[in-house]
Amino acid sequence: MQHEKHFYIDGKWVDPVKPAFLDVIDPSTEEAFIQIAIGSAADVDRAVAAARAAFPAFARTTRKERLELLRAILAEYNKRRNDAGDAISREMGAPLQFARDIQAGRGTAHLERMIEVLETYPFESVEGNTLIVREPIGVCGLITPWNWPINQIACKVLPAIAAGCTMVLKPSEEAPIDAIIWSEVMEVAGTPKGVYNMIQGSGAVVGEAMSAHPDIDMMSFTGSTRAGIRVAQAAAATVKRVAQELGGKSANILLPDVDFQMAVTKGINSMMTNSGQSCTAPTRMFVPADRHDEVKSIAKAAAERFVVGDPRNPETRLGPVVNAAQYEKIQRLIQAGIDEGAELVTGGPGRPENLNRGYYVRPTVFAGVTNDMTIAREEIFVPVSAILPYKSEEEVIRLANETVYGLAAYVQSGDIKHARAVASQMRAGNVHLNYPAGDTAAPFGGYKQSGNGREYGKWGLEEFLETKAVLGYQAA
């Protein structure tokens, strides 16, 4: 690593305007392993100026030129993919092989998908006598989180490039090293200067300055609902577009005709993946009241199969959560579940046995949960699953939708027509039927306080485009 104390601006690695540095903590040891530079509003001004200067030329590049750039980025990224995975594992605690194969693998998947989309996307069409043109929106501010860092960088940077936009990226200061590797890839791939710029820093300083900046035309933000509101408020004065992917509290409905051994086990496995640090995690498992005890037993066995420990140990399935603040929040919420009367099936407060340091959390399952409990309302972002009994299909649909969030929902049934009928009533941007594989072509985003806008595939590209009508284009 050579560039941890620099920003990437206008095609060069540069020092911050005002030198300031931040320790990056390894959550498995609670110790700093590297320092990064953090920026100020002055660094934002410099990066935005570079992006603004580069925009006119890049906006007029051809489809072929942008495809060549994306293919060059793909080739270079694949050379550094394991480096990115290693960084992600160290930064936010994901088990090493999971970080390499799945976390870093998302970068490759999004690159391949965006190349496929750009090859055929219709930027122009004629309707009557009017030409409809989809043009790049301009300079884009991109703010990404720590939980799926390369995934979120890729699904913002790549459609921006495909659209012909220029950009300033602010990655999470909790997971900054993978963003430096990504920026090195962008440099080696030959990205024109000023098209892609990256600065590190806090949301309160750098993110706020980006959101309010008059020369940024669009903000694309992924993170908490609380922070998303601040981005939107800061952006409002300049009437820029704001695309947000925010929190979630996803329902997982198990209908009576499902195979419960399979459905509960897969639900727990999905919940625990990435140490529960996924905004789409199926945190609320709704089960028929008369199967509640059976589900408890299956869920307990599934959760207790997860080995918690050092991310670099190949036996580990759950690493630590990202930082001390998150760990303390999780402990408070687990205790709230106990205090409010939920039945603790397995897990609970504190670290797992034999782990006396690191932000490790015990895989936890609560049963007998009701929708008014804190653990059913708040996004915990941790391997904690809540089992909620229901008595009728009408009741479970109401309870599943009874949340301020609407990012994802899950429906499990032995009858796909039944699953589809329930899915049609879910107020969520993504509904997963019977645990399907992921799809980078499917639109990703939420309803309600889970945000607005969509990412992935052509849907992500269109977020970075403006629509222009040229009337009288064809003589009558």
Pairwise CA distance, residues 17 & 46, whole Å? 9
Does the pLDDT of residue 42 top 70, yes or no?
yes
Query: What per-residue confidence (pLDDT) applies to 380?
Result: 86
Query: What per-residue confidence (pLDDT) applies to 6?
Result: 98
SS3 assignment for 329-384 = HHHHHHHHHHHCCCEEEECCCCCCCCCCCCCCCCCEEEECCCCCCHHHHCCCCCCE
Average pLDDT estimate for 238-261: 97
Summarize pLDDT for 212-229 with one digit per residue, the tens: 999 999 999 999 999 999
For the chain, domain boundaries: 7-246+450-470, 251-439
Which contiguous run of DSSP H or E holds residue 136? strand 130-136
Could you name the CATH architecture of 7-246+450-470?
A: 3-Layer(aba) Sandwich (3.40)
Query: What per-residue confidence (pLDDT) applies to 476?
Result: 56
CA atoms within 13 Å, Cβ hemisphere of 23? 8
Name which of 388, 366, 396, 405 is nearest 248 in CA terms. Answer: 405
Query: What per-residue confidence (pLDDT) applies to 382?
Result: 85
CB atoms within 10 A of CB 159: 28
Burial class from Cβ neighbours inside 10 Å (0-12, 13-18, 19+) for residue 78 reads middle
Average pLDDT estimate for 111-118: 98
Dmax (CA) for the chain in angstroms is: 80
pLDDT category, 291, cuts 50, 70, 90?
Answer: very high
State residue 333 phi and psi, 5-degree precision: -70, -35
pLDDT category, 446, cuts 50, 70, 90?
Answer: very high
What does pLDDT average to over the chain? 97
Summarize pLDDT for 138-159 with one digit per residue, the tens: 999 999 999 999 999 999 999 9
Of the options 3.30.420.60, 3.40.309.10, 3.40.50.300, 1.20.58.1030, the CATH number for the domain spanning 251-439: 3.40.309.10
Task: Say what the pTM is.
Answer: 0.97
Q: Are 377 and 371 in contact (CB under 8 A)?
A: yes
Name which of 435, 105, 20 is nearest 250 in CA terms. Answer: 435
Residue type for 274, please? N
The answer for 299, left when phi > 0, alpha when psi is -120 to 50, beta otherwise, is alpha
Structure tokens at 146: 């720590």
Query: What per-residue confidence (pLDDT) applies to 2?
Result: 85
Structure tokens at 376: 């059913």
Contacts 24+ apart (CB under 8 A), 118-127: 118/63, 118/66, 118/67, 118/70, 118/162, 118/461, 119/63, 119/67, 121/162, 121/458, 121/461, 123/63, 123/465, 126/473, 126/474
Chain length of the chain: 476
Structure tokens at 206: 């750098």
Does the pLDDT of residue 98 top 70, yes or no?
yes
Q: Active-site residues: which are they?
A: 245, 279
Query: What per-residue confidence (pLDDT) applies to 475?
Result: 65
